[in-house]
Structure formats: structure tokens, C-alpha cells
């Protein structure tokens, strides 16, 4: 590489290697995914590899049809899980997810500051507006995207105010005088906004390790602007290098327009890794993982995202921009819909190829199906092109992808000087380069 700047590397603990048919493998340990020991072992391996953080995405609903075929997004509560892992690790960052659409700001502020104390400054917050689950929280429908992000902005600002409402230096703990804290330094936020009314102050003091880093994953226009305002890291869906370059450049422009340093925002694409000893082995792993995905499910996914019914077209037919409806439907994931639309406009894929797209059968993340060398070349190419500042690993298909990430890929990046050999800092802020190292 031209300049060996250090990559920021995290890993999702959403057990992505158990999706599709991955859970059916004899070595999957799927029976253990609600056990603390399963995640303890995973966290210790990630910390031994010196990763910057563990990242736990979350949903607040479950689709019974999906649950019938795989673990889907059923999961332990992310904040409780990461609180447990805080006791089992010492250095690795712990990023939990909390929704600004469904959760009360005071509760989220308290949970995050509690996790920050329990982990000695290693907590992070993945700020999401959520895509679904409204019926579990008394809503008849999801609010429009613009409203959700307006609410998220007010929510995030309020949480930050609450974190500051009980400052660390208010704690005196003076046994001689009997003063535990200086009451004058605690201050109510007295927030009366469009969406929330909160008095404060928070009943958990600031941990004294600096503001908790914020992550965000929205890639729509509203999501990008929100990320440019508040995020320290962006969990990005960028299936190709051009999408990564465009997203990173746009986010940096937006951040600067909001008075922030562009480099303060780190773009960290999800990297879906299906790794084998050979490319053939990796392709077979990918194919086996997704074998049996119902064809009607793939057609339905495309129609829901694009309003395009391809079920009557021959598989070798080209899908062109002229076939796209003028009025696109309101997609559940606008990010996936925008990426598919862009692909059709630029490449005119065949129906058969479109049905195999990650956005249709899985996710819109950057995908590597190959050897560790292939993954290494792809990572270097993306970073040199300005498409990423690192990545969040999403091992796929089998524990072998996880093993090759830890045992081969990370050591290779270290040997090339692209990733550190050991932790230098103790907090998530230090891992992300937000605070000077002691």
C-alpha cells in the first residue's frame, strides 16, 4: 500500500456463520447460541486477535417463517450480553445496539453508561431507527424515514445531555466531610422537545473515560446526513468498491458541512467472508449455505424492494433500467433497494444473476468468497481506493471462515503493517484513535 495506515477492525457477533444452512453443520454449536459460554469463547478469540471491538446488531421482532428455517435474528438482548462479556474480556470494545424509535432516551443513556462503567470505558452505541417491530411497541405502522431520523437526532442529543448531567468530577467521595458528590455539579436537562420530555439528571455518573463512541448504519439520504452529524463509525453496506468510494466521499463531505473533521467519521463496511483453502472450496461453502432458498422468496424480495415482478421472465433475460417502475415502493430496507436499482441501471444483470445477489438472498454487504489471499487483496484494494477505513467482519457459512479470519487473515494484515500487533490503549475511544494514547 502507498501508506500503511492502521485499519479499524471489528467483528459482528450476530453468528452470521449460522445463517442459511450454516447452522445445520455438525460443528456449528447452534445449540449454544443462548449460552454465555459460547460468546465468551468467541470474545476471547477476538481479543486475542487484538480486534478493536465486538459489534452486536439487533432487531426487536422475529419472522416465524424465517425462524422455522434458521436462527434468523433471534438473539439475547445485546446490552445484557455485552455486560456479561465485559467481565470476560479486558481490552476489546463492546458495541451494543439500541433503537431510537422504540426505546426511552433515559433508559438507553443509563444502560450505555452502565456498560461503560462495567467495561472500564469500552462501551459503544450502534444507533438505529429500526426497520420493523412497531407492533411490539404499540404502533400501528412504522413512522416515515424522515420522521424516524428527526426523532433519532433529538434522541441522540438528549442521551448525550444525560451523560453530561452527572459529570465524573461531581464525585468527591469524601469520607471525612460526608460529601459523596457535589450536588451543584449535577444538572437537570429539562428537555421538552418534539418527541421527548425528560427532566434528568441521569442517575449514573459519567465513567470518566470520555464520551461513548457512536456508530450508525443507515445509508439512505436521511441516514447519511444523520451519520455525518453524530457517528464516529459507520457500519456500511457497500457490495462493490464503487459504492464504498461514493459512500465514504459523501459522508465526509456531509460531515465537513456539519462542522466536523471529515476524518473523524470512519467508514467500516460489513465484510461477509466465505473462506476456504481453495476458491473452489469457498464457492462450495457459499453454495451449500444458500442452497434451498425458495425461488418464490427471491422473486418476492425483488418485488418488495423494486416493485418489479420477474417471475414470468426467462432466467437469461436482461433486467434493464427501462423495466423499473417510475414510482418505487416504500422498501423495508431502502439501502438494499437503492443498491439493487443502481446495479440494474449500471450493469443490466440477467434475472438468474439478480436472484443470486446478496441483497436478495442475504444482505448487501461486501462479499468475499475465496481464499485468505483473495480477502487480503480485496481489503487492500478497497482501502487504497478510499472505499473503507477498515471493516466489520461477518464470517459466513461455517466456523472455518471464523477460524481463517482469526488464524490467518488478521495475522497477515498485521505482518503487512496494516493492523497492530498488540493493544496500545485500554478504551474503545483509544482503539478508534479518538483519544491520545498514554
Annotated binding site for FMN: 58, 97, 149, 220
- The SS3 assignment for 273 reads strand
For the range 206-209, what are the long-range contacts, defined as Cβ-Cβ under 8 Å and sequence gap of 24 or more?
Answer: 206/113, 206/163, 206/164, 206/166, 206/167, 206/168, 207/113, 207/116, 207/117, 207/120, 207/121, 207/168, 208/168, 209/116, 209/120, 209/121, 209/427, 209/429
> Residue 274's closest CA among 407, 353, 375?
375
Q: How far apart are CA 204 and CA 186, in angstroms?
A: 11
Binding residues: 58, 97, 149, 220
Q: Which residues does 362 contact at the CB level (< 8 Å), separation at least 6?
A: 19, 20, 272, 290
Q: Which residues does 62 contact at the CB level (< 8 Å), separation at least 6?
A: 72, 73, 74
Between the alpha carbon of residue 240 and those of residues 237, 270, 364, the distances in Å are: 9, 11, 9
Q: Which residues does 24 contact at the CB level (< 8 Å), separation at least 6?
A: none
Q: How far apart are CA 125 and CA 232, in angstroms?
A: 10
- C-beta separation of 162 from 106 below 8 A: yes
Q: Which residues does 111 contact at the CB level (< 8 Å), separation at least 6?
A: 79, 96, 98
Amino acid at each position: 500500500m502507498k501508506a500503511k495506515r492502521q485499519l479499524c477492525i471489528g467483528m459482528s457477533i450476530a453468528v452470521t456463520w449460522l445463517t442459511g444452512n450454516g447452522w445445520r453443520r455438525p460443528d456449528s454449536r447452534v445449540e449454544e447460541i443462548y449460552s454465555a459460554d459460547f460468546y465468551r469463547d468467541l470474545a476471547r478469540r477476538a481479543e486475542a486477535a487484538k480486534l478493536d471491538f465486538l459489534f452486536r446488531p439487533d432487531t426487536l421482532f422475529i419472522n416465524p417463517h424465517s425462524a422455522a428455517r434458521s436462527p434468523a435474528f433471534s438473539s439475547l438482548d445485546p446490552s445484557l450480553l455485552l455486560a456479561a462479556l465485559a467481565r470476560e474480556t479486558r481490552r476489546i470494545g463492546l458495541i451494543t445496539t439500541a433503537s431510537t424509535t422504540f426505546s426511552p432516551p433515559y433508559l438507553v443513556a443509563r444502560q450505555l453508561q452502565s456498560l461503560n462503567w462495567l467495561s472500564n470505558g469500552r462501551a459503544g452505541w450502534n444507533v438505529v431507527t429500526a426497520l420493523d417491530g412497531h407492533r411490539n411497541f404499540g404502533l400501528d405502522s412504522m413512522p416515515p424515514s424522515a420522521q424516524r431520523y428527526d426523532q433519532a437526532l433529538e434522541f441522540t442529543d438528549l442521551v448525550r445531555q444525560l451523560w453530561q448531567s452527572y459529570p465524573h468530577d461531581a464525585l468527591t467521595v469524601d469520607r471525612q466531610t460526608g460529601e459523596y458528590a457535589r450536588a451543584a455539579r449535577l444538572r437537570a436537562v429539562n428537555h421538552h422537545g418534539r418527541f421527548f420530555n425528560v427532566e434528568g439528571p441521569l442517575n449514573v455518573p459519567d465513567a470518566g473515560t470520555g464520551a461513548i463512541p457512536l456508530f450508525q448504519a443507515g445509508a439512505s439520504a436521511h441516514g447519511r446526513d444523520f451519520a455525518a452529524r453524530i457517528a464516529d463509525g459507520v457500519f456500511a453496506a457497500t457490495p462493490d468498491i464503487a459504492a464504498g468510494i461514493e459512500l465514504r466521499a459523501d459522508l465526509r463531505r456531509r460531515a465537513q458541512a456539519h462542522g466536523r473533521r471529515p476524518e473523524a467519521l470512519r467508514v467500516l463496511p460489513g465484510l461477509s467472508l466465505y473462506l476456504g483453502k481453495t476458491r473452489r472450496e469457498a464457492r462450495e461453502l457459499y453454495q451449500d449455505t444458500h442452497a434451498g432458498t425458495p425461488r418464490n422468496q427471491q422473486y418476492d424480495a425483488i418485488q418488495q424492494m423494486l416493485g418489479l415482478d420477474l417471475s414470468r421472465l426467462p432466467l437469461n433475460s436482461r433486467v434493464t433500467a427501462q423495466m423499473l417502475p417510475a414510482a418505487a415502493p416504500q422498501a423495508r430496507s431502502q439501502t438494499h433497494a437503492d443498491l439493487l436499482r443502481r446495479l440494474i441501471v449500471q450493469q443490466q444483470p440477467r434475472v438468474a444473476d439478480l436472484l443470486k445477489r446478496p441483497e436478495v438472498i442475504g444482505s448487501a454487504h461486501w462479499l468475499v468468497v475465496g481464499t485468505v489471499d483473495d480477502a487480503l487483496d480485496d481489503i487492500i484494494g478497497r482501502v487504497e481506493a478510499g472505499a473503507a477505513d477498515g471493516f466489520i467482519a461477518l464470517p459466513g457459512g461455517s466456523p472455518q471462515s471464523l477460524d481463517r479470519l482469526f488464524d490467518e487473515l488478521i495475522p497477515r494484515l498485521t505482518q503487512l503493517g496494516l493492523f497492530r500487533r498488540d493493544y496500545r490503549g485500554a478504551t474503545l475511544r483509544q482503539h478508534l484513535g479518538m483519544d491520545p494514547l498514554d
